[in-house]
């Protein structure tokens, strides 16, 4: 089954996601305007700045169009800033971030430190098959502090959930697109195909 995956391309590291998906052999489409949502089977919300993404999406009518698409079942995977956008609750967060509320979790922005606080780790605790640890890069990452009962935790770091799924929605607080570990993207493609 051939699928087309869109990557929200308004701000952030969308090009890395597009390259990764292309390597996996799926059709990839950059999504900048509401009309770009036609013909995609899933979408990735990249890392970057959730404040800037919110502002640009609201200005372009993208926020409402995406919210409607999510409610109609469009699968989505959010990394880092994208994971903040998928959350139901961003705590004190920022009033310049308007999350879509698709995953029942509380997530705190920039909870691991300041701008320079980035870290590359290998996650031992994950459920993506094979025993190999999952390669993860955290950059000013948010922290998932609470998940609801319908949320499946697929990977943890230091006891915190860092890869979670609720129904059609997948979120990681880290950036697999900055590594050569394709397993999270592969998992999302399978999700879009209805295989997992």
Minimum CB–partner distance for residue 146 and ligand GLN (Å): 18
> Which of 14/70 has CB closer to ligand GLN?
14
> Which of 16/41 has CB closer to ligand GLN?
16
Minimum CB–partner distance for residue 44 and ligand GLN (Å): 12
CA angle, 47 then 153 then 131, to 5°: 90
> Which of 6/99 has CB closer to ligand GLN?
99
- CA distances 134 to 58, 108, 137, 168, 179, Å, are 34, 23, 10, 22, 10
- Nearest-Å Rg of the Cα atoms of the chain is 15
What string marks each residue from 68 to 87 as x (binds ligand GLN by CB under 6 A) or -? ------------xx--x---
Whether 177 is catalytic is yes
> Binders of ligand GLN among 25-54, rule CB under 6 A?
47-50
> Which of 37/80 has CB closer to ligand GLN?
80
Active-site pick, 17, 135, 175, 185: 175
* Residue closest to 99 by CA, chosen among 144, 156, 34: 144
> Binders of ligand GLN among 109-168, rule CB under 6 A?
109-110, 139-140
CB 6 within 8 A of CB 18: no
Query: What is the 3-class SS of 102-128, one letter each residue?
Result: CEEEEEECCCCCCCCCEEEEEECCECC
- Quote the DSSP letter at residue 91: T
* Residue closest to 178 by CA, chosen among 129, 132, 119: 119
Active-site pick, 17, 80, 135, 166: 80
Minimum CB–partner distance for residue 8 and ligand GLN (Å): 12
Q: Tokens 């998928």 correspond to what residue? A: 86
Q: Tell me the catalytic residues.
A: 80, 175, 177
> Residues interacting with ligand GLN, by CB under 6 A?
47-50, 80-81, 84, 109-110, 139-140
């Amino acid at each position: 089954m051939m699928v087309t995956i869109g990557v929200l391309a308004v701000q952030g590291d969308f090009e890395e996601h597009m390259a990764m998906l292309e390597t996996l052999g799926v059709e990839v489409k950059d999504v900048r305007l509401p009309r770009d949502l036609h013909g995609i089977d899933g979408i990735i919300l990249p890392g970057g700045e959730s404040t800037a993404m919110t502002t640009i999406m609201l200005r372009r009518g993208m926020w409402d169009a995406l919210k409607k698409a999510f409610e109609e079942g469009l699968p989505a995977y959010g990394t880092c800033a994208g994971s903040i956008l998928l959350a139901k609750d961003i705590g004190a967060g920022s009033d310049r971030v308007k999350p879509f509320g698709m995953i029942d979790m509380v997530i705190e922005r920039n909870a691991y430190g300041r701008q320079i606080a980035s870290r590359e780790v290998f996650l031992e605790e994950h459920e993506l098959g094979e025993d190999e640890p999952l390669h993860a890069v955290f950059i000013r990452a948010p922290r998932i502090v609470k998940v609801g009962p319908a949320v499946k935790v697929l990977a943890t770091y230091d006891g915190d959930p860092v890869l979670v799924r609720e129904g059609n929605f997948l979120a990681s607080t880290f950036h697999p697109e900055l590594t050569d570990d394709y397993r999270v993207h592969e998992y999302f493609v399978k999700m879009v195909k209805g295989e997992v």
